[in-house]
Amino acid sequence: MSVKSSFLILTMLAFLISIGFELINWSYEREEVNVMAEQNAQELVQGFKQLLVLKSDPFKKQALDYAAWNDLANFTEHKDPSWAKDNLDGSIVQFGINAFYVLDHSKKILFKEVDKSFLEELSTLFPLALLDSSNAEVLHFYAKTPQNIVEFYVTPIHRIDENVSKDSLAKGFVIIAKHWDEPFLQELSSFGIAEAHLSSFHEPQNDYKITHEIPLLGIQNEKVGTLYLHLHNQMSKVLDKYGADDIKLSFLNTFLLMIVFTLLITKFISFPLRDITTALNNRSKEPLRKYLLKENEYGAIATAVCESFDNKEELECFNKNLEQKVHDEVENSRLKDRMLFQQSKLAALGEMLGNISHQWRQPLNTISVVISKIYLDSKTNKLTPQMLEDEIMKLRELIQHMSSTIDDFKDFFKPDKEKVVFALYKSIEESIRITDGGIANKDIVFHVDCPSEIVMNGFKKELSHVLLVLINNAKDAIIQREIEHGAITIKGYAQEHYIIIEVSDNGGGVSEEQLPHIFDPFFTTKEPTGGNGTGLYMSKQIIEQSMQGSINAANENGGLVVTIVLPRNNEV
């Protein structure tokens, strides 16, 4: 190592060490502030819990008032609809709730008033059988629905002058429900204590936000949801601002040191590199002559560059021949891939014709029956104009169904010229529909597990072609090995950076010796007349070259699992 390099490295290390000490000191202070912020957050959470109590107390009081109303107790016995209409209608608007129910002692709903359709069926929100007429306590619990959380107060109905004991049975139940929709959550957040959400925070987490969770319990004290509270850590934010200012000051203090670096680099690095660049651009040895006799790095570089000039013609000739060889090999590889892809397309076309024949067999049989019926009715003079028109309508419907089948197959095998936006679930469904004819009466079922919200932007037909190859291979393995109750499972899900598609079957898998080679061209595990070994090879080319993903296979649970991994930049 030269003296110049040693000097530059030692100076740079000293600079990095000084910055490191400042960062360590800042981190210690940051930990102390975070502890204080966490303690403050705990106090705020307790305050938010008190806020929830204050918000729900009016609902509890209203439920108790109704339950102690003698007229309501009489209503549970006499069940007079006109009384309920005169005295109970409008309760949800008056008290700011979303649902109000009155049940008799047999838990039959005598009156209900709701402002949201999903609250119509009370039995779908929680089991009514869990209500106990002998329990005089007010029940407060939550229920999970697709429309977020619903808060319930259930109060047993007793007369106001009744001496309630543990043996006293309630005459019925008053149930009040409050839907925790987005406006309600925004109202909770508007008090400034914390931001309230019923799902985890979707924004990137940082040190300036502290998250606390409040469990929401159901009627059996089971956890049905979580209220997430997001609090702002202003103390850490202020500390980071001052820390950033300190670091800026440190950089300012080292500015003079960087000027020294610049002068040293200019003399010992920039000027020699300028001379080397000039020599290379002009193909001249002249700028390098002053370095040839020096016993350092630049002397070695100058010697090597001058020797390369001497061998210029030989290298250019070699490079020219090398470029031609590479070009020829690339063209040969492309030609081979085109041939393999054509073979794969022809194989898929054969599968398509077979599937069309399966899907047309039943309509053709039905058409034959209809024509025979028309002929026989005509011979026996039973054919009326109305009967003839009805039968012709049946024939038109069957022919339209057969035509739509042809359109489905034609569209499926039409190549993509550019990327399109499509739902992954729809692509899987189309691939399965294309193969329906090939698995008819084969005791094979499909299982699809793919969220409908996964939407991609890519070559839909190419991905569908890959899925068709994998489905056909799984089907052939199940049929060839005569597997009872064959099953093909297609699963799609999204991770942080990738979209995963898994196609699995219970067809016995592939031997460990053959498994590493199933994606090789012309390699097949089927019988000699069963396949040409191009399907999986072309699938690998499509996934890796057209879609920048990866594909691999493994034996699991008595079958083969093929996993496709696609980058999420193909996702919309």
Pick the range with the lowest mean pLDDT from 208-217, 235-244, 460-469.
235-244
Q: Mean pLDDT, to the nearest integer, of 303-310?
A: 74
Is the pLDDT confidence value at 412 over 60? Answer: no
Pick the range with the lowest mean pLDDT from 59-63, 96-100, 260-264, 468-472.
260-264
Is 265 buried (19+), middle (13-18) or exposed (0-12) by CB count in 10 A? middle
Range ranked top by mean pLDDT from 103-117, 240-254, 270-284, 351-365: 103-117
Is the separation of the CB atoms in 247 and 19 below 8 Å?
A: yes
- Please give the pLDDT value at position 487: 92
- Please give the pLDDT value at position 357: 62
Is the pLDDT confidence value at 335 over 80? Answer: no
Is the pLDDT confidence value at 328 over 60? Answer: yes
Percent of the chain with pLDDT strictly greater than 90: 10
Does residue 266 or residue 109 have the better pLDDT?
A: 109
- Please give the pLDDT value at position 383: 79
- Written as one letter, the residue type at 491 is K
Alpha-carbon gap, residue 168 to 165, rounded angstroms: 5
Per-residue confidence at 3, pLDDT binned at 50, 70, 90?
very low
Quickly list DSSP for 41-76.
HHHHHHHHHHHHHHHHHHHHHHHHHHHT-HHHHHHH
Q: For 188-238, how does the pLDDT look when each residue is reduced to its tens digit (9 = 90+)?
A: 888 877 788 887 765 555 666 778 888 989 988 899 888 888 877 666 666
- Please give the pLDDT value at position 102: 92
Inter-CA distances, 227 with 37, 157, 174, 341, Å: 20, 31, 26, 54
Q: Mean pLDDT, to the nearest integer, of 18-40?
A: 73
- Please give the pLDDT value at position 6: 60
Per-residue confidence at 403, pLDDT binned at 50, 70, 90?
confident
Does residue 454 or residue 235 have the better pLDDT?
A: 454
Which residue shows structure tokens 């390098």? 288
Q: What is the CA radius of gyration of the chain?
A: 39
Is the pLDDT confidence value at 485 over 60? Answer: yes
Does residue 24 or residue 559 have the better pLDDT?
A: 559
Q: What is the DSSP letter of 322?
A: H
Q: Mean pLDDT, to the nearest integer, of 247-260?
A: 71
Is 376 buried (19+), middle (13-18) or exposed (0-12) by CB count in 10 A? exposed
- Please give the pLDDT value at position 555: 92
Inter-CA distances, 39 with 42, 44, 209, Å: 5, 9, 14
Is the pLDDT confidence value at 510 over 80? Answer: yes
Is the separation of the CB atoms in 196 and 188 below 8 Å?
A: yes
- Written as one letter, the residue type at 146 is P
Q: For 121-162, how does the pLDDT look when each residue is reduced to its tens digit (9 = 90+)?
A: 888 888 988 888 888 888 999 999 888 899 999 999 888 877
- Average pLDDT score, the chain: 79
Pick the range with the lowest mean pLDDT from 14-23, 91-100, 153-162.
14-23
- Please give the pLDDT value at position 182: 86
Please, what are the domains in the chain? 56-235 (3.30.450.20), 254-310 (no CATH), 414-570 (3.30.565.10)
- Please give the pLDDT value at position 123: 87
Could you tell me which of 461, 446, 466, 480 has the C-alpha nearest to residue 549?
466
- Please give the pLDDT value at position 235: 63
Is the pLDDT confidence value at 57 over 60? Answer: yes
Q: E strands within 418-479?
A: 420-423, 444-449, 455-458
- Please give the pLDDT value at position 264: 72
Alpha-carbon gap, residue 459 to 259, rounded angstroms: 54
Per-residue confidence at 504, pLDDT binned at 50, 70, 90?
very high
Query: String of b and e for 447-481 (b: at least 16 CB within 10 Å)?
Result: eeebeeebebebbbbbbbbbbbbbbbbbbbbbbee
Is 311 buried (19+), middle (13-18) or exposed (0-12) by CB count in 10 A? exposed
Q: For 532-572, how does the pLDDT look when each residue is reduced to its tens digit (9 = 90+)?
A: 667 788 788 888 888 889 999 999 988 999 999 998 765 55
Q: For 263-295, how does the pLDDT look when each residue is reduced to its tens digit (9 = 90+)?
A: 777 767 777 777 778 877 877 777 777 777 777
Pick the range with the lowest mean pLDDT from 156-165, 241-250, 273-282, 299-308.
241-250
Range ranked top by mean pLDDT from 44-48, 95-99, 279-283, 314-318: 95-99
Per-residue confidence at 175, pLDDT binned at 50, 70, 90?
very high
Q: Mean pLDDT, to the nearest integer, of 163-174?
A: 81
Does residue 224 or residue 430 have the better pLDDT?
A: 224
Per-residue confidence at 71, pLDDT binned at 50, 70, 90?
confident
Q: Mean pLDDT, to the nearest integer, of 439-450?
A: 81
Is the pLDDT confidence value at 489 over 90? Answer: yes
Q: Mean pLDDT, to the nearest integer, of 95-101?
A: 89
**Coil, strand, or helix at residue 209?**
strand
- Please give the pLDDT value at position 450: 92
